[in-house]
Structure 1
């Protein structure tokens, strides 16, 4: 309980500072009769005694526990009020709120880790899901390159919500799509054909596991798949020439939707 050593009482300003509340709050509690000062100066200024401060302290505690002012008044003044039961009920609500806040903190910690590291999997988990050729430093390198972009933020939000099973589903979808690309190329699917355009749409759907992909952004990816040695090796490992073939598929689909591949820009 706050210590009041002034036998003449404390002014409203000193009382508010001692209790950690505003002067306005004390004025309101006085006006509503919840907690009135026992003394007044000759000029009419409020003065709070030690007994007044004890009541005010209880008001502050109950308010921090979440009780509204009318319930606080009942707890303090109603002799028929079952105070222990009321406080136990409020304690249960506080406990529930603490649990929710802990869950929120856990989610925020995962979000921070995902923003900083890109993937919340151990190196061993990544190798098991994506294969032994997977570079576990890849997400970290990607953050260095793209960490200030909106797409990285979208990717991090998705990554924060995923565990090994969810990432396995992402990897399986990508593997199935690579297989479909190779089979389509073997079957002679032409860029701009209905089947070719469906493949481009399926690529956008699969890639959306990372972040939403516009058609212009897809064109930029198609160029990178062909030009980047790492990506080209991956696709050409599925079928020789697949990286270049898929770029043509993407470009033709973009044209069909009014996007000039030569003018496509990221973002």
Structure 2
């Protein structure tokens, strides 16, 4: 019993036109004909078609498939190894393209409108992690403060970013000295450093009241990507993220006790 072109098309999930093309190319010709002249495929023909479709899925051309099927013992392994190398190279190329796409998305997410060279020149080791930026958008994106921060970041010039990062570097140096000197995280020096960070955020991005500052500092401990925006990995020390968080919380408590007017945040801008 043989299978008609229509039956094979349905079984294999290929078009009748494709089967006719394989026949014309000499790649897969029906083994028999019906008494009225219709093509009929045998079980062996179906097995050959399965091989053809397998190699097509791997990206082999019809000529390559014909060569493999002509002498499978001599050619199949060699061709498969060659194709494996090509696929790995293609995977690597696509991965590089995906990384480029991530960087492009990163610029849109963070609102930093600088060229790659300018970004490297200005930010150095400090880099926006796409996954963190995306999660931050989901976490804070509904808030007016987040929208304002993104809008102001997008409006910053290269010189603005240079000044911002210079200010951040000075602040970071003070933080590292206080930590290395063993100053208590709830002491005046550490709290003053935390307060300067809060004011820095207000000056350059959006008003940052103590409650918001505490939530930001909590991320420093729970998410290394967040802390890397403040202190690059090469300058981090064990316990530094927790130290900064404790200083921020202590400063927030100090400000609450002093009755500081939240409107002061606006005056820093």
Query: What band does the TM-score fall into relative to the shorter chain?
Result: 0.3 to 0.5
Q: TM-score, normalised by structure 1?
A: 0.47
Q: Return the structure number with greater relative CO, CA threshold 8 A, min gap 6.
A: 2
Could you tell me the TM-score, scaled by structure 2's length?
Answer: 0.47
